[in-house]
Structure 1
Amino acid sequence: MNKQVIVRDLGNKDYKETWDYQEMLFEEIVAQKRANRTNEVSNPTSNYFLLVEHPHVYTLGKSGHIENLLIDEAALKSKGATFYKINRGGDITYHGPGQVVGYPILDLDNFFTDIHKYLRFLEEVIIRTLADYGLKGERSEGETGVWLEVGTPFARKICAMGVRSSRWVTMHGFALNVNTDLGYFDNIIPCGIRGKAVTSLNLELAKEKVEEALVKERILKHFEELFEATLVRE
């Protein structure tokens, strides 16, 4: 099993370009797995962890409802935002500046073949990262992602998650609100869940700006520990 994970920070990159890049890496891994089944000698499959920040964009998962996008095409354009229907699980969410987005493209045969466990591990990476900042991140039963003050009238989501998996290869991932303009969430029913707020790290810490580079480092540290991976930064 190859537990080496190649880390690539893509900086600020268009959503569709990044999606296409994910698909390319995903197909590369799947093709290697197919070849390994027919070749006498198997070659190890690669694992990747992409970090990125997107311009304003709304994405709707394959099980989502278009009614949860509350603005029309003209309003999207006026706000400088784009919209895509995509092939991850989950409903609608927002990505934009000030968000740390992570896309692990892993062959789970190198780690463990359990999607439920995989999602819980991703949540735990974020929960531990929030703990580094003195915040208690929590899971909300039946709602993937990471929340604060679950079970209270003040419950609010700080990290959305949605993944795709085929042949135990993953893509898509999580979006942690760090210095995010939360006003963009007013244009959707986030994740299709009514009546619950969203929040960000800088809002919770009452800071004008939280250093995103440091947040990324903490995420990678906890990912490396939980997945027992060896990170290779490119």
Structure 2
Amino acid sequence: MNTYSACVTPVAASQGPERAAGVPSPGQNRRVTVQRLGAVAYQPTWELQEQLLADTLTVKTRNRDAQAAGQTPELTSNYLLLCEHPHVYTLGKSGKPEHLLLDEASLLAHDATFHRINRGGDITYHGPGQLVGYPIFDLDNFFTDIHRYLRLLEEAVILTLADYGVPAGRIAGLTGVWIDFEEGAPNPRKICAIGVKCSRWVTMHGFALNVNTDLSYFGHIVPCGITDKAVTSLQAELGRPVPVTEVQERLLPHLAQLFGAEFV
């Protein structure tokens, strides 16, 4: 069982657009079931992710036994959960509790909740106006390379932002998507956080793209433990709100192309 940071992981500065996953091999399933959950509380969504991951791991265990017996294995499933959450702060396994700057009474006053969760990374915020995506992918269906997986998630967001005329990219050493990302830029600011967990090549958790997010809520944490960079949203960059559902529909074709997947 592995966890990968929402904030920091080795990234080569030169990394750019990634190639699609290519033609599926026999036994690979590139179909992805998309579940548009709308506005939903964090805890039941986390539980749904855990259930889908457990179901996939059960199939993989059966497949291991089937292959040992010379039988044909089953195809495993892939899912993408899309949603928005009420105000919530989540702390990854390597995070520091002191990076949440609110006590219990202050959380209540801000109508927010707090969860310690099993992804990598430090603390982050989810809330209304933010597009959250949870891919439950069996990477055996695509490629077994977690860093390539992270880069493809980033690339899909970068391409989606380009659809709106917003240049975005990567900063070496920092997972996620940034505005003013070029070396020496005066005001680098994060627009999308990414943090995942991977068990036997099955992923969970995912990405959080700030669309119309109330950025003041990031002022109550040290986002991802990073103290010297700002946070932004698509609304802040464009000067106008954008429907979250519109952004997700623009994102899906980019994900499908990059992963060589069929979204259903």
Aligned pair 1:185/2:212, yes or no?
no
Cα displacement (A) at 1:141: 1.0
Which residue of the partner structure matches residue 82 of structure 2?
Answer: 51
- Give, in whole Å, the separation in 2 of the partners of 1:89 and 1:157: 18
- Give, in whole Å, the separation in 2 of the partners of 1:220 and 1:89: 25
Aligned pair 1:105/2:136, yes or no?
yes
Of structures 1 and 2, the one scoring higher in RCO (CA 8 A, sep 6+) is 2
Q: Report the residue type matching 2:46 in the other structure.
A: W
Q: Report the residue type matching 2:138 in the other structure.
A: D
Among residues 203, 217, 233, which one is paired with 2:249 in the alignment?
A: 217
Helix, strand or coil: the match of 1:71? Answer: coil
Specify every segment of 5 or more residues in structure 1 that has no aligned partner in the other structure, as ranges: none
Q: Report the residue type matching 1:230 in the other structure.
A: E
TM-score under structure 1 length normalisation:
0.98
Helix, strand or coil: the match of 2:228? Answer: coil
- Give, in whole Å, the separation in 1 of the partners of 2:35 and 2:158: 22
- Give, in whole Å, the separation in 2 of the partners of 1:160 and 1:86: 15
Aligned pair 1:135/2:166, yes or no?
yes
- Give, in whole Å, the separation in 2 of the partners of 1:117 and 1:197: 26
Helix, strand or coil: the match of 1:146? Answer: strand
Helix, strand or coil: the match of 2:131? Answer: strand
Tell me whether 179-188 or 39-48 shows the greater mean CA deviation: 39-48
Among residues 6, 14, 21, which one is paired with 2:41 in the alignment?
A: 14
- Give, in whole Å, the separation in 2 of the partners of 1:67 and 1:212: 31
Helix, strand or coil: the match of 1:126? Answer: helix
Helix, strand or coil: the match of 1:42? Answer: coil
Cα displacement (A) at 1:41: 2.4
- Give, in whole Å, the separation in 2 of the partners of 1:212 and 1:172: 19
Specify every segment of 5 or more residues in structure 2 that has no aligned partner in the other structure, as ranges: 1-27
Helix, strand or coil: the match of 1:139? Answer: strand
Matches within 5 A, 1:85-124: 85-124=116-155
TM-score under structure 2 length normalisation:
0.87
Which residue of the partner structure matches residue 200 of structure 1?
Answer: 233
Aligned length: 231
Q: Report the residue type matching 1:141 in the other structure.
A: A
Aligned pair 1:70/2:101, yes or no?
yes
Q: Report the residue type matching 1:227 in the other structure.
A: F
Helix, strand or coil: the match of 1:170? Answer: strand
Which residue of the partner structure matches residue 176 of structure 1?
Answer: 209
Cα displacement (A) at 1:211: 1.6
* Cα deviations by residue, 1:178-222 (Å, 9 ceiling, x for unpaired): 000000000000011002110000110011x10211100111010
Helix, strand or coil: the match of 2:53? Answer: helix
Helix, strand or coil: the match of 1:204? Answer: helix
Runs of 4+ in 1 over 2 A off after TM superposition: none
Q: Report the residue type matching 1:202 in the other structure.
A: Q
